[in-house]
Amino acid sequence: MRCEHDYHERNRYDCPPRTGDCHSGHSRRYDSDIEIHSPCGISVTDKTKDNGGIKSLLVDKSIAADVREKLLESELLNLEYKPQEFERNIALPITSEAALMNLDWFSEDTHSIASLPLSQNIGKCTPAQAIAAEIAQLFDDEAVAITDDMKELLPTKWDLFGDLAVIPKESLNSPEWNAVMKSKSGFEARVWEIICRNIKVNRLARQAEIATDNLRSSQVTMIYGDSGEVEFIDHGVKFYLDVTKVMFSSGNVTERHRIGDIDMTGECIVDAFAGIGYYTLPMLVRSNAKQVYACELNPNSIQALTRGAELNKVTDRLTILHGDNQETLPKLRNVADRVHLGILPSSEPTWRLAVDCLKNSGGILHLHMNLNDSEIDSFTKYCIDVISDYALQHCDFSSVSLLHVEKVKWYAPHIRHVVLDLRIE
């Protein structure tokens, strides 16, 4: 059942494929739609402005819709500007006079080209589309060539942490991009500024594979701005981390919210893989837990968790145990009403220790794991059998029952991140 894939979670802001047209189809996968109101359009390939006017094709109103469609098909409609009525004609902004005149359907008898004062098309478009359009314009203005391969590497998704965005590791990351960025003084900064402005952030970092060490260290590097420290709020809970030091699992957002929705008033909790407080902090802030014992190996995560607890003013209800939980969990025997085992691909090495943490009155376990979709039922049974064997034979418990199976996300093809909630009595 183990998954060999790297824990490489992606967010979060997936844009539709880049096209010449602007749609408001930009989607934020989890929380809410993000919208941007900015000029956008296809890359303008030759001069479209003339004495302040916009190169336009003037056509009779009766055929304007038809001609607009044809311009769109030929990628010659300039989406940066709005079509406008001039007496019986409609002016359709174009991207290339030369290319237009080469089209079969173009006839100088029925179509005329003029430079007209059109207004900008302030429509909704995705940040990714705006980035693509503005970068194409920058290259055009600076007479620098941009290849299709380079365009493919413009970012269409990113992780947002307050005023810092982490773009994918392949974004603007190729020998071609590296050479162009260094080709002119100040050029690189202008490219990053365009990206920052459209994503509405001040700092940019680039994603990298998460280290394969058991600390799951981040290898994210800053590319614009100095510090990777961020503070942000998710569902009323404040988090702090340095994106260059520790990873943040944005893909677990629904599970963080589910755990935070559970009423834990009066409960003592053990979080065996606390990290920066992904679950510890929601349990303290939203679930109203009485006390959380947070086990964590990585000093950078502990520093972030400590800061997060201060920001949320819950330090007095948090006890951090630094070290390997194989050594720290045995110090927490009989203290917990609930134990959280948030590690992938499997938390199995800590199952028995987790049962030992429960009070004699019993409690609840939340077990995270990666499972092949077809094995969820059989593995759930295996899990209950293993834990029942231990809880009933080695401890004084009398039953282990399944409360809930939460399918958190797809981790890889056919592999799901699953959480089993078990009650032990």
Ligand X SMILES: C[S@@+](CC[C@H](N)C(=O)[O-])C[C@H]1O[C@@H](n2cnc3c(N)ncnc32)[C@H](O)[C@@H]1O
Which residues make up the interface to ligand X (CB under 6 A)?
214-216, 249, 252, 273, 275, 278-279, 295-298, 301, 324-325, 342-343
Closer to ligand X by CB, 158 or 239: give it.
Answer: 239
Q: How far is the CB of 164 from ligand X (least distance, A)?
A: 18
Q: How far is the CB of 312 from ligand X (least distance, A)?
A: 17
Nearest distance, CB of residue 252 and ligand X, angstroms: 4
CA distance 323 to 301: 12
Which of residues 178 and 214 has its CB atom nearest to ligand X in the complex? 214
Question: Is 83 or 275 the residue whose CB approaches ligand X more closely?
Answer: 275
Cβ 83 to ligand X shortest distance, Å: 49
CB of 29 to ligand X, least distance (A): 16
> Smallest gap, in angstroms, from Cβ of residue 9 to ligand X?
9
CB of 310 to ligand X, least distance (A): 19
Residue number, 136 or 259, with CB nearest to ligand X: 259
Question: Which one, 275 or 362, has the nearer CB to ligand X?
Answer: 275
Burial of 189 by CB count in 10 Å (0-12 exposed, 13-18 middle, 19+ buried)? exposed
Which CB, 224 or 278, lies closer to ligand X?
278
Least distance to ligand X from the beta carbon of 416, Å? 14
Cβ-closest position to ligand X: 342
Please identify, using beta-carbon distances, which residue of 88 and 235 lies nearer to ligand X: 235
Between 136 and 419, CB nearer to ligand X: 419
Beta bridge partners of 222: 205
Q: Give the Cα-Cα-Cα angle 172, 174, 176 (nearest 5 degrees).
A: 100
